[in-house]
Amino acid sequence: MQVREAMSSEVLVVGPEHTLRQAARMMSARGIGSAVVIDPDSEGVGIMTERDVLNAIGAGLDCDVERTGAHLTWDVVYAGPDWTLEEAAAAMARGGFRHLVVLDGREVAGVISVRDIMRVWAAIRMVATS
């Protein structure tokens, strides 16, 4: 199975000037664990995860003052929509992260998470054992 079949294509996009609280509220309202950060003044796409918010709060930072641009990963590993789920899982395991931004060319096509992969693999296993 390919990443395009398991990824979430509805992606939360925030700017680097959103506060951590604003980003966390939007992520919480959608029940998701990451937001894609696009900075119009830079090249590339970043990702901010629930872990980034947790680390900032754990460090005693003010989530009403801190901006997403200072608490995200710019050194992102991007998946392609044609990757297999095994390739995506291996990239996550190597990098020690739970989300991959999926790029189709230079455009954000979606985000795939460990949860997405597990959901698909569990469904496949259920069908195979039925």
pLDDT at residue 127, rounded to an integer: 81
79 — phi, psi (to 5°)?
Answer: -100, 155
For the stretch 70-114, pLDDT in tens is 998 777 889 999 999 999 999 999 999 999 999 999 899 999 999
CA dihedral 39, 106, 25, 40 (to 10 degrees): 20
Rounded CA separation 111/3 (Å): 9
- Cα 69 to chain centroid, rounded: 15
pLDDT value of residue 88? 97
Domains of the chain: 3-129 (3.10.580.10)
Sheet holding 34-38, edge to edge: 13-14, 34-38, 45-49
HSE-CB at 23 with a 13 A cutoff on CA atoms is 34
User: Is the CB of residue 28 less than 8 Å from the CB of residue 71?
Assistant: no
Phi, psi at residue 18, to the nearest 5°?
-65, 145
* 93 vs 110: CA distance, rounded Å: 19
Helix, strand, or coil (residue 126): helix
Q: Give the pLDDT score at 98.
A: 93
Q: What is the pLDDT of residues 32-70, one digit of tens each?
A: 999 999 887 777 789 999 999 999 999 999 999 999 999
> What pLDDT, on a 0 to 100 scale, did the predictor assign at position 22?
97
